[in-house]
Structures are given as C-alpha cells and as structure tokens.
C-alpha cells in the first residue's frame, strides 16, 4: 500500500506547524526521556476524529503521515448529489485514518445507522449499537461525542463480542475486555499499514530522522553515568540494575499492585 500513497504535498488547509520537539528534555533542560533527539521537520495534519457530520464522501487519495504509524485518507465530502459551491476547502475536505483495504475512490459515510455489506462498510463511522457482533473495528470513542481516543495505531483492531441494552463489550488489542456505551462510535475495519512493525531501516540515519538517538549499554559508560560503568574490561561487578540501582532481573518487584489495576487505570471498566 506504500507504493499507492500520494507522492505530493499534503493539503495546505489541513496542515499546521507544531512547536519544536523537546528532544526528551523538560523545562529545566534535564533529560526525562532517554534516547530521544531532534527529528526532521514535519507538519501536523488535522485528522477528523469526530466525524459528526451526516455526509457521504469519497476517498481522494491515501497519504503518508509522519506523525503517526498508520496511513491517512483525504476525503471529499458531498452534501447531496452536487457539491456546494459556497463551502470552503477546509469543510469540503478532511483527513481520516485510513483502514486496511481502503482505496482511492472508495465511498465512506458518517453516522451510519445500517450496516449492510462488510466490504462496503469499510471506513464507515457507525454507532456501536448498530455494529454486528464479531465485527473488527478501530478508532473508537470512550464517551459519546468525544471523538476517537483509542485503537488508532497501525494494524490494530478491536472486536465487538457482546451487546447489552446500553453497553457493548469489546476485546481490545491488548486482550482485555472493556464495556463501553453503545452510543459511542467506531470505524469499521482494521487500521492500515499493518506491517509497520516489520520494517527494516537501511541506515542509522533513518532512526535519527524519526528523533531516535542511539541506545548505549551501561557497561560502556563511566561509573558516574551508570552503576555498570567503569572497571577493567567488560565487567559489571554486580547484578543487572537500572541507572538508578534497581534490579532489572530475577522477579524483583518495586511496587505491589492489585491484579488488573493497570488495565483499570488505562481503560476504566476493563476485565481480563
């Protein structure tokens, strides 16, 4: 699908510049996130995660977005059979997340209340209450009208496995089960670019373009920089620890947490 991506520039009305990357530093200049540096210049794309207009659109082209792992689709929206002449370009065109098998010329719709054929429904934004059980979805809202908040990374999807009166149950990419309001909306299909994690960089500079700095081993540092540093030859002289001296192997626990507490913090009402 990469070969079919648009080779030109993005739509100017739907882009904006972003503040300079922090390169892993906080406001005082201290490193708070290791292995991060400056990256190539990039423009932010205005992605429509709301999709709250009841219109029918057509995919104009599939584009690469340097700010996310999936592809994006430029959609031209139509209100009726003819295109209104008084609308501006920013309202006639929007960017949405491209799902797998979405192609140039494919029709997409928002606020659909009937599902229909699965192949024809790819890319449509539908309320969870109208989606059949077993359907693979992505770009899901957590609260009605809030806009899509999760299942947006390349190649990810959730599955609707159960429906109740006011809620539905989803199996998330992590395997956890979440109960969500049935009035929330989701997009049919799997997020595009499922081979994102399998790509091979041809040179170290490609990682630097993305803002990734080299990862240095602790044994290659000086004693002032890491507990493994220093010594004659390649020796640690102690068990494997983090830069702050906490053991990293052998099942050493620094914090005791209740079962499922982490999933609850991330997703709310989540069950394994």
Q: Are the C-beta atoms of 94 and 83 separated by less than 8 Å?
A: no
> pLDDT for 46-68, tens place per residue?
999 998 888 888 999 999 999 99
153 pLDDT exceeds 80?
yes
CATH number, residue 190? 2.30.30.30
Domain check: are 175 and 40 in the same one?
yes
Measure the CA–CA gap between 178 and 3, rounded to whole angstroms.
36
Q: What is the CA radius of gyration of the chain?
A: 23
The highest-confidence range among 14-18, 80-84, 187-191, by mean pLDDT, is: 187-191
Give a yes or no: residue 204 inside a domain.
Answer: no
Domain check: are 88 and 143 in the same one?
yes
> Between these two residues, 226 and 252, which has the higher pLDDT value?
226
Domain check: are 140 and 230 in the same one?
no
Domain check: are 230 and 156 in the same one?
no
266 pLDDT exceeds 60?
no
Q: What is the pLDDT of residue 3?
A: 66
> pLDDT for 2-51, tens place per residue?
667 888 888 899 999 887 778 888 989 998 889 998 888 889 999 999 98
Instruction: Please report, rounded to a whole number, the percentage of residues in the chain having pLDDT higher than 70.
Output: 86
Q: Which domain holds residue 135?
A: 2-196
pTM metric for this prediction:
0.78
Q: Are the C-beta atoms of 262 and 174 separated by less than 8 Å?
A: no
CATH number, residue 229? 4.10.950.10
Model confidence at 237, pLDDT cuts 50, 70, 90, reads confident
Lowest mean pLDDT across 39-43, 86-90, 106-110, 169-173: 86-90
Measure the CA–CA gap between 118 and 136, rounded to whole angstroms.
10
């Amino acid at each position: 699908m990469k070969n079919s991506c648009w080779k030109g520039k993005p739509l100017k009305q739907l882009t904006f510049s972003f503040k300079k990357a922090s390169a892993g530093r906080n406001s005082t200049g201290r490193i708070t996130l290791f292995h991060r540096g400056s990256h190539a210049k990039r423009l932010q794309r205005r992605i429509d995660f709301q999709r709250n207009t009841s219109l029918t659109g057509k995919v104009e082209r599939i584009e690469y977005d340097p700010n996310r792992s999936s592809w994006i689709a430029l959609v031209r929206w139509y209100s009726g059979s003819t295109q209104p002449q008084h609308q501006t370009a920013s309202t006639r065109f929007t960017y949405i997340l491209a799902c797998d098998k979405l192609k140039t010329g494919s029709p997409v719709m928002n606020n659909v209340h009937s599902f229909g054929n699965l192949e024809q429904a790819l890319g449509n934004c539908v309320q969870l209450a109208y989606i059949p059980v077993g359907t693979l979805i992505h770009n899901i809202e957590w609260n009605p009208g809030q806009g899509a908040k999760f299942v947006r990374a390349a190649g990810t999807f959730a599955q609707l496995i159960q429906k109740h009166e006011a809620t539905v149950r989803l199996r998330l990419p992590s395997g956890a089960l979440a109960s969500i309001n049935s009035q929330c909306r989701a997009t049919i299909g799997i997020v595009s670019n499922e081979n994102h994690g399998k790509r091979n960089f041809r040179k170290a500079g490609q990682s630097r373009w993305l803002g990734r700095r080299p990862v240095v081993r602790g044994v290659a540092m000086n004693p002032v920089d890491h507990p493994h540093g220093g010594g004659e030859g390649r020796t640690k002289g102690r068990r494997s620890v983090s830069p702050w001296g906490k053991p990293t192997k052998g099942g050493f626990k620094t914090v005791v947490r209740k079962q499922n507490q982490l999933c609850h913090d991330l997703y709310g009402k989540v069950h394994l």
